Amino acid sequence: MDKILILGAGISGLGAAYSYKQKGYSPIILEKDETYGGLCGNFVIDGFRFDRFVHFSFAKEEEVLKIFNSSAGNIITHIPNPYNIYNRKWIKHPAQNNLFPLDEQEKKKIIDDFLARPQVDMSQITNYEQWLRMQFGDYFAEHFPMVYTKKYWMCEAKDLETKWVGQRVYQPSVEEVIQGSKTADTPVTYYAKEMRYPKTGGYKHFFSSLAENADIRYHQKVVMIDVERKVVKTEDGKAYEYDKLYSSIPLPEYAHLLSSIPTHVTEAIGKLKCTSGYHVSIALKTKNIPPYLWWYIYDEDILAARVYSPSLKSPKNAPEGCSSLQMEVYCKEGEYTEQQLLDGTVGKLVELGIIKQEDILFAHVGFEKYANVVFDHQIYENREIVRDYLMSLGIEPIGRFGEWGYLWSNQSLLSGMNSVK
């Protein structure tokens, strides 16, 4: 029987292992961390559980729901209620059709620009900035999504292409924009109508059954892949032979995992872009926090692009009588000192009166090297070069950073499952 080796015990790696188990195989998974989950994983400090960035499920695929439901058991269902902070004001999300809290002069500028949008053929749109200006008018584009793009994507909107947008950015009608400027009583227009989350165990509990039934070798950081001998070597000196190899390792990492890479592939690897980021996790000895599951921050003096509440996702994520928040700061590693991060995140929430200094039990700073794939204008060409090369060597790249795409967790699970033919 073929030796199946899978690199990474995140959701896509576990998905591939699951498909092989269904076929009667017993694949081995190598995981560099001490537990499964990857970017969908979590950590616990003094009874507070934090995911590694915000995660909810709005999966609709029957096979995904079957796994999630059987793994998690008790599931909490939320109606999305995201908000925004803009110029220190709370604004319902998406802001483009919830302008009510703004002053009349600013509303007028936004609506006038929205009505004056040029009628442009979509085929003439070459970048995200043009797309935003065409959808929302200049004033809103410049003060809202173009600012947020720099915080979240770490680049200018003009440097992004637009195929990734899809349903992620709501495009309201004129009537919705005008109505949302007159009243706060507007319908939810978020792209998912409900969000699900496990009552216990954090987000990764959704696929815990896959991990329980998998042969996972922890603390096995891959340092070399010998495709000629079909051997993977790990940091502790172990060697694993394989007949078939599946990998959720981020594409840029192959630059030092493989030898004798052709120049054009090395160049393509070097051009792949992604965001990195810090999560600043806050434990509070009060339940007095904003009632929103998550919120976006446009104000540039606040480092965080997004904030979510683990304790609102599930009360089991915090001890009785307590609550928690996590703030996401996208930047290069070391761009800020830990104190600068805390001052620009936790300190700002205190300054705004959102939390009180005396209620803070602790604040923890963690870093993720790979957060989101950046869809610059060369992504598709460079991604294809790298992935085609890996597959020519017998390596099947899977998951968000193997496919190098904007994959949600259900899509990452299916990426692994469907890679097994």
Give residue-wise pLDDT tens across range 257-276: 999 999 999 999 999 999 99
231 found inside a domain = yes
151 and 102 in a common domain = yes
**pLDDT-above-70 percentage for the chain:** 100
98 and 29 in a common domain = no
256 and 388 in a common domain = yes
Cα–Cα separations (whole angstroms), residue 17 to 28, 154, 244: 8, 34, 12
233 and 176 in a common domain = no
381 and 254 in a common domain = yes
96 and 31 in a common domain = no
Number of structural domains in the chain: 2
Final residue of a structural domain among 162, 182, 202: 182
Tokens of 353: 């009166």
Number of Cβ within 10 Å of residue 244's Cβ equals 18
169 and 108 in a common domain = yes
133 found inside a domain = yes
pLDDT in tens, 315-371: 999 999 999 999 999 999 999 999 999 999 999 999 999 999 999 999 999 999 999
Give me the sign of the Cα torsion angle 198, 204, 207, 208.
negative
Tokens of 328: 């996401």
Q: What is the CATH number of the domain that holds 408?
A: 3.50.50.60
Answer whether 0.75 is exceeded by the pTM: yes
Pairing of strands 83-86, 294-297: parallel
Q: Which residues contact 341 (CB under 8 A, 6 or more apart)?
A: 278, 280, 303, 329, 365
Helix (H, G, I), strand (E, B) or coil at 4: strand
169 and 223 in a common domain = no
398 found inside a domain = yes
Can you give the pLDDT at residue 202? 98
252 and 131 in a common domain = no
Helices (H), 363-403: 379-392, 400-403
163 conformational bin, left if phi > 0, alpha if psi -120 to 50, beta if neither? alpha
80 found inside a domain = no
344 found inside a domain = no
241 found inside a domain = yes
237 and 98 in a common domain = no
246 found inside a domain = yes
What is the tally of helices (H) and strands (E) in the chain?
15, 19
Do 111 and 232 contact (CB within 8 A), yes or no?
no
Final residue of a structural domain among 182, 197, 222: 182
96 and 176 in a common domain = yes
Q: Which domain holds residue 159?
A: 91-182
Reading the chain (421 residues) residue by residue, the pLDDT tens digits are: 799 999 999 999 999 999 999 999 999 999 999 999 999 999 999 999 999 999 999 999 999 999 999 999 999 999 999 999 999 999 999 999 999 999 999 999 999 999 998 888 878 899 999 999 999 999 999 999 999 999 999 999 999 999 988 777 888 898 999 999 999 999 888 888 899 999 999 999 999 999 999 999 999 999 999 999 999 999 999 999 999 999 999 999 999 999 999 999 999 999 999 999 999 999 999 999 999 999 999 999 999 999 999 999 999 999 999 999 999 999 999 999 999 999 999 999 999 999 999 999 999 999 999 999 999 999 999 999 999 999 999 999 999 999 999 999 999 999 999 999 8
Integer Cα distance of 155 and 301 in angstroms: 17
209 found inside a domain = no
173 and 113 in a common domain = yes
